Each structure stands twice: as structure tokens, then as C-alpha cells.
């Protein structure tokens, strides 16, 4: 018979109880270790992601500066094709940069909104270049867009410089 309620417990019963309690304690300790390891892994992943985004933002300055320089060259050479390509590239860079800026903190929301507006403006300017009569120069067509991009480049440079100098 497996279970006899009338007999007194013997040493094997006490040993079984002890092993059961020890097993539960070991399982509880392992569960806590697993939870702590998971928390540490999530924290490390968040830190790595933040550093990657920050490093990507630090590269924005050169991307915006290159787009601005190419647009200036297009204006000097009156090169419509270069202007269109540059405006397309600038619009893409501005949209991606706005998303990156918003992902690290809300303190750069004003610059992110400015980037989105500049992206939309670049798209409109590209269409303007495409549809403009041939006697109008790129400088005439894009003078306000070039000034807007110059302002944005200066603001991006200021943010990237502050990020370079921040301790994190």
C-alpha cells in the first residue's frame, strides 16, 4: 500500500520532505537569478541602442553639410539634375534624422519638427525645379530653400556639438 494514514512517519518521509523543501528553495533562487539576468540584459540592450542612435545622430552634421554643399554647387552651376537629386537626398536625411532625434529625447522636438518641415519643403522645391521654365536659374528658384537649409545645418551642428560634449 502506498499511503497509510495510521503509520507514523519514518526517516524516508522526513528525507523526502527535506529534499522537496531544498528543491523549492533552489528553484526560487534560480528564478530570481534569471529575473535579475533578464533585467540586466534589457538594461544593456537599451544602453547599446541609445549609444547607437546617439552615434548615428553625431553623423548627421556631415550628411546635412554635404547636402547643403551639393545644393550650393547646383545653384552655382545651374545644374537642375544635381539640385533635384540633392533635394531628394536632403528630404530623406531630414525625415530619418527627425525620427532619430525623437527617439533619444523630447528635448530636441523643435529641431525634429524643423527637419520634417524642411523635408516637406525640399520635396516641394524639387517639384518647383522640375516644373520651372528653363530661363529661371536654380539660385532664383531655390534661394529661400538654400537659406532654410543653411539654418537647419547650423542648428544640427549645434545639437551634434552638444551631444559630443555631453557625458553619457
Residue 77 lies in a domain: yes
Q: What is the CA radius of gyration of the chain?
A: 31
DSSP letter (8 states) at residue 87: H
User: Hey, what's the cell of 107?
Assistant: 528635448
Are the CB atoms for 69 and 83 separated by under 8 Å? Answer: no
Q: Which three cell numbers stand for residue 66?
A: 554635404
CATH value at residue 86: 1.20.120
Asked if the structure places residue 45 within a domain, the reply is no
C-alpha cell at 95: 525625415
Residue 5 lies in a domain: no
Instruction: Compute the distance between CA of residue 80 and CA of residue 44 in angstroms, rounded to an integer.
Output: 48
For residue 99, the enclosing domain spans 51-165
Would residue 44 count as lying in a domain? no
- Please indicate, yes or no, whether the overall pTM of this predicted structure exceeds 0.95: no
Q: Does residue 1 have a pLDDT over 60?
A: no
Encode pLDDT of 5-53 as tens digits: 667 778 888 888 899 999 999 999 999 999 999 999 999 998 898 888 8
- Specify if 37 maps to a domain: no
Q: Is residue 98 within 8 Å of residue 120, measured between CB atoms? A: no
Residue 111 lies in a domain: yes
Is residue 151 assigned to a domain? yes
Instruction: Please check whether residue 27 lies inside any domain of the structure.
Output: no
pLDDT tens for residues 72-122?
999 999 888 999 999 999 999 999 888 888 887 778 888 889 899 888 888
Residue entry with cell 555631453: 166
Q: Into how many domains does the chain fold?
A: 1
And the C-alpha cell for 137? 536659374
Amino acid at each position: 500500500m502506498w499511503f497509510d494514514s495510521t503509520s507514523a512517519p519514518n526517516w524516508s518521509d522526513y528525507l523526502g520532505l527535506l529534499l522537496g523543501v531544498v528543491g523549492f528553495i533552489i528553484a526560487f533562487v534560480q528564478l530570481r537569478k534569471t529575473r535579475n539576468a533578464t533585467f540586466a540584459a534589457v538594461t544593456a540592450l537599451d544602453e547599446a541602442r541609445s549609444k547607437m542612435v546617439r552615434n548615428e545622430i553625431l553623423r548627421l552634421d556631415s550628411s546635412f553639410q554635404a547636402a547643403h554643399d551639393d545644393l550650393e554647387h547646383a545653384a552655382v552651376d545651374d545644374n537642375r539634375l544635381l539640385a533635384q537629386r540633392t533635394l531628394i537626398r536632403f528630404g530623406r536625411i531630414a525625415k530619418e534624422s527627425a525620427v532619430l532625434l525623437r527617439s533619444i529625447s523630447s528635448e530636441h522636438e523643435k529641431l525634429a519638427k524643423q527637419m520634417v518641415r524642411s523635408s516637406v519643403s525640399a520635396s516641394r522645391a524639387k517639384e518647383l525645379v522640375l516644373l520651372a521654365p528653363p530661363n529661371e536659374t536654380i539660385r532664383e528658384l531655390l534661394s529661400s530653400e538654400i537659406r532654410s537649409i543653411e539654418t537647419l545645418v547650423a542648428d544640427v551642428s549645434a545639437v551634434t556639438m552638444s551631444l559630443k560634449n555631453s557625458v553619457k
